[in-house]
Structure 1
């Protein structure tokens, strides 16, 4: 990233001119999209999505050679969403914490002192990444299903995929991205945010399994692993399942994200 990426007017000698023409928001989003893949870590994380997905596709084709009914577009599409659901939240964390871990926040917020616009651009980038993840899963699913249709007999290679599968996949991708984004904004440290993203929900899931009372009374509302399960299929979730997901989203996404935004807006840049 360079200053010319923004082409912002130079600040007067007395300080930053907050009344200067705002940088177009679309330009901020383009810069954030480039940040999502232009560092060494983010590049290899992105590349690993393709490598892992290809490996899973081959393994799925081999493992189900005697059960062709398991080789249809819906199955491939669902499986292809797994690598992106794991790796994309880490990319979202790097997108937020990179400014602070690499000490580039001073440059970013000098070029665009309106911090809320930077946060908005990063959030928009995360949502674009969620849509791209679903599209990538669909493309890989079509490739895998096409191979199955050629290599095996019917019903392998069936092209049935309902709209519920698309909606559920986007919900899962967006939930994970926003969860990682919220922890990143709250902690502003890459290792800490990654550990929190993986460790805290996992610890709650372990608690749900070890304490049946907690699982039956609270876990089904606040354990995001449980609340996301109905969305890991190609069937529409019920109203109650949506309600439980929204409650867990408030606990794991809205609260950390809200507190994180406040911290980013108020943190001293060093």
Structure 2
């Protein structure tokens, strides 16, 4: 009898496989974010809200001959952006875990931190684009209001206020992203974001700020919007003009650290250690 020859098993050597380019990762995350039914409808509804706000401002100003300025219009046009688009920042993280696609993503790109960073770049790009569109529509609204009423154009939006208004919107996007990383659960992250970013400032903090003197000192250390109001609007949350002081920058940095920095750090730690199923 002849001895059967042993054939060594085939091996797959992936040691020399090049790393996935980071730009490609960003492109993939961008498509995951906008090339879906939820992404399509979020963008469509936001565009509809921007057009509605624009039409309402022109209509009210035209009927009542109000004097409006670029500052007020720009603040109004950022409201639709703040309402719905931060949900993108949440979904881009949590959808991987709720739809069980994290295993595929982290298999194709084992370095989880690169995937998370690509998600952050994609959602930041979307935020910049939508904020730019909102400001362009705001400028157009200002021109239309001047044409309807015959009043002179008011371009009184200070450059520093514009920059801080953009930073504020970006921080709210980052807050949604942070909550998504920390919870990895879509309903929970969305609910907590809207409670902290919208419901508490409108229903609780605003009332306390208007009634109690101690709230004026405490709330800027608690809420990001209250801390940044003097920087982005030149006024306090009640609309009264205030001077920006050194403590304003400290309060902004502290609230950003609490609501963005800490959740991002804890969320990254969780994602890097979480079991992928």
* Structure 2 unaligned spans of 5+: 1-9, 236-242
Instruction: Please say if 1:158 is aligned against 2:175.
Output: no
1:199: how far off?
1.7
Q: TM-score scaled by structure 1?
A: 0.84
Gaps of at least 5 residues in structure 1 are: 1-11
1:204–1:79 Cα change, 3 Å: closer
Deviation at 1:240, TM superposition (A): 2.2
Match of 1:109 among 74, 96, 106: 106
Which stretch shows the higher mean deviation, 18-27 or 245-254?
18-27
Match of 1:89 in 2: 86
Measured at CA, do residues 28 and 237 of structure 1 come closer, stay the same or move farther in structure 2, by a change above 3 Å? Answer: farther
Which residue number corresponds to residue 75 of structure 2?
78
1:169 is aligned to 2:165:
yes
Instruction: Give the paired residue count.
Output: 256
Secondary structure of 2:85 counterpart: helix
**Cα offsets for 1:149-192 (capped at 9, x unmatched):** 3322022x434543224302211111101100010001001101
Cα distance in 1, alignment partners of residues 198 and 78 from structure 2: 20
2: distance between equivalents of 1:193 and 1:13?
Answer: 44
CA distance in 2, matches of 1:237, 1:40: 43
Q: Indicate the larger mover: 200-209 or 72-81.
A: 200-209
Q: Is the 8 A contact 1:81 1:137 kept in 2?
A: yes
8 Å contact kept, 2:74–2:135? yes
| CA shift digits 1:184-223 (9 cap, x unpaired) | 0010011010011112455754268459476345322122
Contact 1:76 1:145 in 2 (8 A): yes
Provide closer, same or farther for how the CA distance between residues 36 and 95 of structure 1 changes in structure 2, counting only shifts above 3 A. Answer: same
Q: Quote how far apart the aligned CAs of 1:97 are.
A: 0.7
Query: Map of 1:9-48 to 2, 5 A cutoff?
Result: 17=14, 20-48=17-45
Q: Once the 2 structures are TM-superposed, how far is the Cα of residue 115 of structure 1 from its aligned partner?
A: 0.3
CA contact (8 A) 2:26 2:119 kept: yes
Partner residue in 2 for 1:179: 175
Which residue number corresponds to residue 67 of structure 2?
Answer: 69
Q: Are the counterparts in 2 of residues 134 and 166 from structure 1 also a CA contact under 8 Å?
A: no
- The residue that corresponds to 1:222 in the other structure is 222
Aligned-pair CA distance for 1:141? 1.3
Judged with a 3 Å threshold, the aligned counterparts in structure 2 of structure 1 residues 44 and 134 are, in CA distance, closer, same or farther, namely same
Q: Relative to 1, partners in 2 of residues 1:153 and 1:179: Cα closer, same or farther, differing over 3 Å? A: same
Is the CA contact (8 Å cut-off) linking 2:162 and 2:232 kept in structure 1? no
Give the alignment partner of residue 60 of structure 1, picking from 39, 57, 62: 57
